[in-house]
């Protein structure tokens, strides 16, 4: 039988930092600017389990986190590092040669063909063990009939969990959950549904579908179907990596655009080489500047069509970097392409 296996890394950025900085293990750690540097203006990008115990959570203003516990440890987000780890996870998953969709930097779903749920659980266990051993990172896996249900099962099993919900048990699994547990229902849709007394998925399932369609259009119909235990979502195969990037430190700190551009060109060519090797196309091109004081600025542009053009990367990267080079001397620059899909899989997307 065909099932979906959904994988989500646990507290991904914080967990990556704990691998690099074992001294933070067991201490409450926030990824985000420390209150002093940000003058209490930043936000918590993510935090580990220990910080969560104090009520700290992602997207919380640093100021509020500080009030909850003045002794939190802070570390600046390092996107290149997280993307690098992400690419390694996705590459490992793609070694199973299954239909796979990368959902975000730390989430992916695969279609598995197994004899029963027991076999699916075994495979989940093996994947969890491998990621833990190879990268030292915990993740949670959910298994179910559809992609959306598998994600919901995964969410319910967090952290460090492994759970499968069989087709005949899915309605029971859904019923008492609040509607916003369905991926895609944000605060706006939740409020709309709550305003007509639909709070749980069971209540959603028993609503006249016409009412939902009136209120939410075709999404209303989809929600009705999901709430009634049918998940028709399919895998949209995309590239197994999130981004391709290169960065390098300049010979000396400089604000001379010509010198910086030379390095940008070199990096852009390396990125394109990798793009060709991996047989992908991209929609977003970005650059990064790290200044002499170790602060970073990034700038990117997203195009409406996928491309694999070297010229486009060169032109866009050198135009973007101009905006980042002015006031402070630059120490390191980077070029990145993202929103990747496999070259063969782009037809329906462009
Ligand atoms: Mg995650």
SS in 3 state form for 218-260? HHHHHHHHHHCCCCCCCCCCCCCCCEEEEEEEEEEEECCHHHH
Q: What is the predicted pLDDT for the residue at 78?
A: 84
d(CA 86, ligand 1 centre) in Å: 11
d(CA 8, ligand 1 centre) in Å: 5
SS3 140: strand
- Say if CB 143 and CB 153 are below 8 A apart: yes
pTM of the model: 0.77
Domains and CATH numbers, the chain: 2-13+83-165 (3.30.70.270), 19-75 (3.40.1170.60), 170-227 (1.10.150.20), 243-346 (3.30.1490.100)
Q: What is the predicted pLDDT for the residue at 349?
A: 37
Q: What is the predicted pLDDT for the residue at 251?
A: 87
Q: Residue 202 corresponds to which tokens in the numbers above?
A: 């069971």
- CB neighbour burial string for 82-113, b if at least 16 within 10 angstroms, e if fewer: bbebbbebbeebbeeebbbbbbebbbbbbbbe
d(CA 163, ligand 1 centre) in Å: 16
d(CA 58, ligand 1 centre) in Å: 11
d(CA 155, ligand 1 centre) in Å: 9
- Set 17, 83, 107, 222: catalytic member: 107
d(CA 46, ligand 1 centre) in Å: 10
SS3 304: strand
**Is 237 considered catalytic here?**
no
- CB neighbour burial string for 162-199, b if at least 16 within 10 angstroms, e if fewer: bbbbebeebbebbeebbbbbbeebeeebbebbeeeebe
For residue 216, CA distances in Å to 12, 265, 273 come to 33, 47, 45
Report the Cα 21 to chain-centroid distance in Å: 22
Among 128, 132, 126, 118, residue whose Cα is nearest residue 164: 118
d(CA 287, ligand 1 centre) in Å: 25
d(CA 140, ligand 1 centre) in Å: 8
Please give the chain's pLDDT, 350 residues, in tens: 999 999 999 999 999 999 999 999 999 999 987 877 666 777 888 899 999 999 999 889 888 999 999 999 999 888 788 988 998 999 899 999 999 998 888 999 999 999 999 999 999 999 999 999 999 999 999 999 999 999 999 999 999 999 999 999 999 999 999 999 999 899 999 999 999 999 999 999 999 999 999 999 999 999 999 999 999 988 888 777 888 999 998 988 999 999 999 999 999 999 999 999 888 899 999 999 998 887 888 899 999 888 999 999 999 999 999 999 987 899 999 999 998 888 865 443 33
């Amino acid at each position: 039988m065909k099932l979906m296996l959904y994988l989500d890394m646990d507290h991904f950025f914080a967990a990556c930092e704990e691998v690099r900085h074992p001294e933070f293990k067991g201490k409450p750690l926030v990824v985000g600017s420390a209150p002093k540097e940000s003058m209490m203006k930043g936000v918590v990008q993510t935090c580990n389990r220990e910080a969560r115990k104090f009520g700290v959570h992602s997207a919380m203003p640093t100021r509020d986190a500080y009030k909850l516990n003045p002794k939190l440890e802070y570390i600046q987000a390092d996107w290149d590092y997280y993307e690098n780890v992400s690419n390694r996870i996705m590459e490992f998953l793609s070694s199973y040669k299954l239909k796979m969709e990368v959902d975000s930097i730390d989430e992916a779903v695969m279609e598995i063909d197994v004899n029963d749920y027991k076999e699916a659980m075994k495979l989940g266990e093996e994947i969890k063990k491998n990621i833990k051993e190879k990268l030292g990172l915990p993740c949670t896996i959910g298994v179910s009939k559809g992609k959306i249900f598998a994600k919901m099962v995964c969410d319910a099993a967090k952290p460090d969990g492994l759970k499968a919900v069989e087709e005949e048990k899915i309605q029971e699994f859904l019923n008492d959950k609040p509607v916003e547990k369905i991926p895609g229902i944000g605060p706006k849709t939740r409020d709309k549904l709550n305003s007509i007394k639909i709070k749980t998925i069971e209540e959603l399932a028993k609503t006249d579908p016409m009412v939902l369609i009136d209120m939410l259009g075709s999404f209303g119909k989809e929600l009705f179907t999901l709430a009634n235990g049918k998940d028709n979502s399919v895998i949209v195969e995309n590239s197994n990596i999130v981004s391709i990037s290169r960065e390098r430190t300049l010979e000396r700190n400089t604000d001379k655009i010509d010198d910086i551009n030379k390095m940008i060109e070199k990096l852009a060519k390396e990125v394109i080489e990798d793009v060709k090797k991996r047989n992908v196309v991209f929609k977003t091109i970005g650059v990064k500047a790290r200044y002499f004081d170790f602060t970073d600025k990034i700038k990117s542009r997203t195009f409406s069509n996928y491309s694999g053009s070297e010229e486009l990367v060169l032109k866009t990267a050198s135009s973007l970097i101009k905006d980042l080079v002015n006031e402070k001397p630059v120490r390191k620059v980077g070029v990145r392409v993202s929103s990747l899909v496999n070259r063969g899989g782009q037809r329906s997307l462009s």
